[in-house]
Structure 1
Amino acid sequence: MPQVLDVHAVRAWCALALEALGRDREEIDAINVYPVADGDTGTNLYLTVESAVQAVEAVFTGLEPAPPALSDVVHAMAHGALIGARGNSGTILAQLLRGMAQVLAGDADGEADHSESAVGDTLRRALRRAAESAREAVAHPVEGTVLTVAAAAADAADGRSGDCGDVARAAYDGARTALDATPGQLAVLGRAGVVDAGGRGLVAVLGALTEALSGDPVAPPGGRGVHHARVAADQSLDCADGEGPAFEVIYLLEADDQAVARLRTRLDGLGDSLVVVGGDGLWNVHVHVDDAGAAVEAGVEAGRPYRIRITHFAAGDAHTTHPTSGSAPTGERAQRAIVAVVPGEGLAGLYSEAGATVVPERPGEVPGSGELVEAIRRAHAREVVLLPNDAELRHTAAAAAEQARTEGVRVALIPTRSAIQGIAALAVHEKERRFDEDVVAMTSAAGATRYAELAVAERQSWTMAGICQAGDFLGLIDGDVAVIGEEVTRTARTTLDRMLAAGGEMVTLVLGDEVPDEVAERLERHVRETYLAVDTVVYRGGRNSALMLIGVE
């Protein structure tokens, strides 16, 4: 009986792919020697597919008991993979899934025909689109990698007639053959005696597709595996001798196509392993660089970067915490300083106590680039970390940083969008570390902190949460109105619950002068009783601060 790639098959495919990558994760990690021998390709692929699975399940859950449309399911799969993509191979896999989704949903070639006689051809075109779009996303494609395996799968599918099951089986067999050939195409793989780790992961995903359509488990890939892989990192001198960029930088980016084109050019000049995937205003950016701050700053100039992840290849994951440093010494030029734009007298005092040079932000008065340059000069340091703490200041801060660099100061701009994110960055600042390592830790801490603000509506207006009336309390999460309420405590509590639904370890509350202490006490009690493992810290923002700022780390 002909097999059809319908919503249930896609759902089964995602679940089986996650199961296969979970089973093979350690093996894939062990053979990871290219482009960097950091032993995490299997884990990154697993996390990428896990995000895709969660997005697909959310579509089914949201429309139960009726089944969702195929277009909704495949778009959810691609979007979930995009926002959850990890590492070089995970980012490429996200683009492969996006390319398939475009064809399966009919986006790439007009209205899709889902009849049994046509779905085999649709799958062939989807595999071809996937291979082509992934290759286009990589700045400098290399043979012997997952790109080669994807192209071979598409070629094999093109040569097979029949239904979806036949096409998927051909693609899987072609991918297996190409995977076994990768050590002869890429010297670093040949020296290590392993196949390409990203390609190995793609074979697992294609095997899951074949099993989802046929119901029969596929034979595991042959070729070199764990036996040789345990010594792969030691043998791969190209990747382990200290050469190459020091940091992996990944972030999601909201930007238009023209800005992304400029970003590709700039990042290509900063490092290697550049992969930019996505579209329709949302992108996942991956690059290996020595100057992590410059890579993030390039994203700030292109649009709105968030979910920023920076990893030092020698030190592992950069999400570490350290005590806050004290004030820099006066007199001769200090080695390092923090310059921060801060609203409210209370927060200004908090930042100053942490050793930062403060630029006050007053209602209706946005600091100019000249004021920021002057603050950098006043900090009197060789190295400066700049925290704008406002999304509207990113271009102004970038201009100030560029001006200060012409004066011989090394400046790193961390794109904090709220004073709450700046507090998180300050909490991990440690001046005794190398500058790049300090910037990595601060950027990671800020990027891992969601922020919200409570404000009072000035007039009736439309919002993403509905229509608000003048005088309503608004809970803005990451800059967008998410909650509308008539009472401050209840609005703050609902906003907190929305933020903590995705998890968290620490809640930071910054209260304006008009908010009484009992509001903070009620919110602290709510967090303590509802989220047992979450701590809460409260600060007073003082005059000129927002009604309330909320941070979740």
Structure 2
Amino acid sequence: MAHQPQPYPLTAEAVRTWSSLALAALGRAREDIDAINVYPVADADTGTNLYLTAESADRELGDLLAGVTDGTAGTSLPEAVRAFAHGALIGARGNSGTILAQLLRGVADVLGEEPDGPGGPEGRDPARLLAQALTRAAEEAYRAVAHPVEGTMLTVATAAARAAETAARAAGTAADVAGAAYDGARAALAETPGQLAALGRAGVVDAGGCGLVAVLGALWQALSGREPAPEPVRGRAVPVPRPPEPCAEEERDGGPAYEVIYLLEAAETEVDRLRTRLDALGDSLVVVGGDGLWNVHVHVDDPGAAVEAAVVAGRPYRIRITHFGDERRRARGERSQRAVVAVVQGEGLAGLCGEAGATTLLARPGEPPAVAELADAIREAHAREVVLLPNGAELRAVAAAAARQARAEGVRVAVIPTRSEVQGLAALAVHDPEGTFDEDVVAMTAAAGATRYGELAVAERQSFTSAGICQAGDVLGLIDGDVAVIGTGLAETAEAVLARMLGSGGELVTLVLGPEVPDELAERLEAYVQHGHLAVDTVTYQGGRWSAPLLIGVE
């Protein structure tokens, strides 16, 4: 890059400009990056994941500046860069977005040091400081990935850091360092098809590295005031000679079935043990963050075990579980413009919904998702049309607010008023992504409305209910949200609830067992239904951790 006589200083304003330019660049390139996404999973969402991660980072930085009277003039470089990195951390999506979040954290570890602290950024050479920040970013990203692979965005980040260090030693400006990092990243990106077999077979460069090049181009533009020359090829990559095809491994569908992502509050010692547990469960493990807050990403066949490992380590939240079957079909050109987002309590239920093609948001008892979390889940579905299943009467207002946010962003959203997970399962059973949106919504709404729902719970204290006074430890049988039976045992109370629910007829009984409920209860209830209602079928599922002791659906 040519020397810029009057470069912009490395300040909070530069970080704000970098964030805005990076988001715009990823927005322009997201579809092209999605199209060349073949590694580690050909799920055609790397560009979207990078964009959503950058959007979260930009939003956090914008919120910081909105609360400062003087805007960027009243904000220090450390404050701005830390907010930028934190926003990426809490909003990281997918493998690529999680790595980008750690790269930005590495930058913040250097630029985010307070001026009066040892080695603070004030008074130091900005060029050297930026080179150190990019080097730290690459190092931390490598450490965050359980099994680093060359030919990925990690390789591109390392090449950018090396070029930045060389420019800094040559006594260039911060803009020169950013320009050198951008050029180094572009050169490294062009080499990725020869470094990673999956890329070579598909004839594409690494999608994550392609996004990182766009982010570094935005950094150079923010510091130099000069816009990077438009790339003459799709997705800011080297020419793509043919459309990407699933590699042999993907065609055999030999990889894990689920992607699990969550934020985790935990001590670093616990996270080290968590890495070991998750590494044994699956692959594509990336754990980023620090200072007690982490973003965890892993591909597994047993999503419940991945969440359970998090519970042992600390407090997980914003848990998202996605089944890869639908994503792989989309990557083969079968992508539908419609998605389903479902809120559930229980990893087993999340797995069921995932297999049915839904993106799931796993909620803990007593901790319903906030509007922002649900809105993020809708964005993550990256579909033009979204059907939302709140699966709880208390979530209807939250779901409606999240839907309004998504509609303002151009997404068509319909909220099915499901009040229980069994109603959500009934709606998913008739979901038709190939039909029209209105027809699909009507059919799903009708299926949910035709499903009566029951639940067993244990009373925590004495209280008045619609069925009388209950004592602590009593088993409560709820039907359509109201207490209908008060009993002393799970089995007897469940049979009483089933008797009432089947009194008005039914063709199918769905039983969802909680984590502490023995399988014998399901066998007893199945026998009870068969004995008294010969024409009624019964299906049983495991709800997993955090699900109610028993959920009952009657259709």
TM-score, length-normalised on structure 2? 0.61
Q: In structure 2, what residue type is equivalent to 1:308? A: I
- How many angstroms apart in 2 are the aligned matches of 1:373 and 1:182? 46
Given candidates 475, 478, 482, the residue that maps to 1:350 is 478
- The secondary structure found in structure 1 opposite 2:32 is helix
The question of whether the paired residues in 1 share the 8 Å contact of 2:32 and 2:234 is answered with no
Q: In structure 1, what residue type is equivalent to 2:517? A: A
The question of whether the paired residues in 1 share the 8 Å contact of 2:151 and 2:192 is answered with yes
- 1:235: Cα distance to partner? 4.2
Q: Is 1:151 the counterpart of 2:158 in the alignment?
A: yes
Q: In structure 1, what residue type is equivalent to 2:57? A: A
Given candidates 5, 29, 40, the residue that maps to 2:10 is 5
- How many angstroms apart in 1 are the aligned matches of 2:83 and 2:57? 7
- Please name the residue that 1:279 is paired with: 290
Q: Is 1:110 the counterpart of 2:130 in the alignment?
A: no
Given candidates 198, 203, 207, the residue that maps to 2:213 is 203
- 1:254: Cα distance to partner? 0.6
The question of whether the paired residues in 1 share the 8 Å contact of 2:515 and 2:546 is answered with no
- Please name the residue that 2:263 is paired with: 252
- What does the per-residue CA deviation read over 1:418-463, in whole Å, with 9 as the maximum and x for residues that have no partner? xxxx69x96xx9899xxxxxxxxxxxxxxxxxxxxxxxxxxxxxxx
Q: In structure 2, what residue type is equivalent to 1:205? A: V
- What does the per-residue CA deviation read over 1:110-168, in whole Å, with 9 as the maximum and x for residues that have no partner? 332334x6010000000000000000000000000010000000011111131110000
Q: Is 1:413 the counterpart of 2:413 in the alignment?
A: no
- Please name the residue that 1:318 is paired with: 359
Q: In structure 1, what residue type is equivalent to 2:359? A: A
Given candidates 517, 522, 542, the residue that maps to 1:380 is 522
The question of whether the paired residues in 1 share the 8 Å contact of 2:234 and 2:240 is answered with yes
Distance verdict in 2 for CA 1:381–1:35, change over 3 Å = farther
Q: Is 1:41 the counterpart of 2:46 in the alignment?
A: yes
- How many angstroms apart in 2 are the aligned matches of 1:127 and 1:430? 55
- The secondary structure found in structure 2 opposite 1:413 is coil
- Please name the residue that 1:56 is paired with: 61
Distance verdict in 2 for CA 1:73–1:360, change over 3 Å = farther
Residue correspondence of structure 1 range 101-250 to structure 2 within 5 A: 101-106=108-113, 110-115=118-123, 118-160=125-167, 161=170, 162-221=172-231, 228=240, 231-232=243-244, 234-250=245-261
- The secondary structure found in structure 2 opposite 1:275 is strand
- How many angstroms apart in 2 are the aligned matches of 1:77 and 1:431? 49
- The secondary structure found in structure 2 opposite 1:350 is strand
Distance verdict in 2 for CA 1:30–1:221, change over 3 Å = same
The question of whether the paired residues in 1 share the 8 Å contact of 2:456 and 2:478 is answered with no
- The secondary structure found in structure 2 opposite 1:284 is strand
Given candidates 29, 33, 36, the residue that maps to 1:28 is 33
The question of whether the paired residues in 2 share the 8 Å contact of 1:78 and 1:98 is answered with yes
Q: In structure 2, what residue type is equivalent to 1:7? A: A
Q: In structure 2, what residue type is equivalent to 1:170? A: A
Q: Is 1:70 the counterpart of 2:58 in the alignment?
A: no
- What does the per-residue CA deviation read over 1:385-428, in whole Å, with 9 as the maximum and x for residues that have no partner? xxxxxxxxxxxxxxxxxxxxxxxx99663346xxxxx69x96xx
- How many angstroms apart in 1 are the aligned matches of 2:486 and 2:153? 48
The question of whether the paired residues in 2 share the 8 Å contact of 1:339 and 1:379 is answered with no
- 1:315: Cα distance to partner? 2.3
- How many angstroms apart in 2 are the aligned matches of 1:351 and 1:132? 55
- How many angstroms apart in 1 are the aligned matches of 2:321 and 2:222? 36
- How many angstroms apart in 1 are the aligned matches of 2:19 and 2:185? 18
Distance verdict in 2 for CA 1:62–1:184, change over 3 Å = same
Distance verdict in 2 for CA 1:57–1:358, change over 3 Å = farther
For the aligned residue pairs, the C-alpha RMSD in angstroms reads 3.6
- How many angstroms apart in 1 are the aligned matches of 2:15 and 2:138? 19
- How many angstroms apart in 2 are the aligned matches of 1:360 and 1:84? 45
- What does the per-residue CA deviation read over 1:456-479, in whole Å, with 9 as the maximum and x for residues that have no partner? xxxxxxxxxxxxxxxxxxxxxxxx
Mean CA deviation greater in 198-207 or 306-315: 306-315
- How many angstroms apart in 1 are the aligned matches of 2:173 and 2:62? 26
Q: In structure 2, what residue type is equivalent to 1:125? A: Q
Distance verdict in 2 for CA 1:124–1:325, change over 3 Å = closer
Distance verdict in 2 for CA 1:235–1:358, change over 3 Å = farther
- 1:8: Cα distance to partner? 0.3
The question of whether the paired residues in 2 share the 8 Å contact of 1:30 and 1:229 is answered with no
- How many angstroms apart in 2 are the aligned matches of 1:338 and 1:143? 51
- The secondary structure found in structure 2 opposite 1:305 is strand
Gaps of 5+ in 1: 327-336, 362-371, 383-408, 417-421, 433-553
- Please name the residue that 1:269 is paired with: 280
- Please name the residue that 1:389 is paired with: none
- The secondary structure found in structure 2 opposite 1:272 is strand
- 1:221: Cα distance to partner? 4.7
Residue correspondence of structure 1 range 489-504 to structure 2 within 5 A: none
Mean CA deviation greater in 247-256 or 309-318: 309-318
- What does the per-residue CA deviation read over 1:492-512, in whole Å, with 9 as the maximum and x for residues that have no partner? xxxxxxxxxxxxxxxxxxxxx
- What does the per-residue CA deviation read over 1:79-134, in whole Å, with 9 as the maximum and x for residues that have no partner? 1000000000000000000010110012799332334x601000000000000000
Q: In structure 2, what residue type is equivalent to 1:129? A: R
Residue correspondence of structure 1 range 388-427 to structure 2 within 5 A: 413-415=544-546
Q: In structure 1, what residue type is equivalent to 2:43? A: D
Q: In structure 2, what residue type is equivalent to 1:269? A: A
Number of residue pairs the alignment of both structures matches: 377
- How many angstroms apart in 1 are the aligned matches of 2:146 and 2:456? 35
Distance verdict in 2 for CA 1:271–1:373, change over 3 Å = closer
- Please name the residue that 1:520 is paired with: none
- What does the per-residue CA deviation read over 1:344-375, in whole Å, with 9 as the maximum and x for residues that have no partner? 767933379899x99999xxxxxxxxxx8863
- What does the per-residue CA deviation read over 1:50-101, in whole Å, with 9 as the maximum and x for residues that have no partner? 0000111111110122521211111111110000000000000000000101
Gaps of 5+ in 2: 1-5, 328-357, 361-387, 392-417, 424-453, 467-474, 490-513, 525-539
- The secondary structure found in structure 2 opposite 1:159 is helix
The question of whether the paired residues in 2 share the 8 Å contact of 1:14 and 1:53 is answered with yes
- Please name the residue that 1:99 is paired with: 106
Q: In structure 1, what residue type is equivalent to 2:205? A: V
Residue correspondence of structure 1 range 438-517 to structure 2 within 5 A: none
The question of whether the paired residues in 2 share the 8 Å contact of 1:30 and 1:39 is answered with yes
- How many angstroms apart in 2 are the aligned matches of 1:314 and 1:260? 29
- What does the per-residue CA deviation read over 1:277-318, in whole Å, with 9 as the maximum and x for residues that have no partner? 001110000000001111111111111111011111112452
Q: In structure 1, what residue type is equivalent to 2:139? A: E
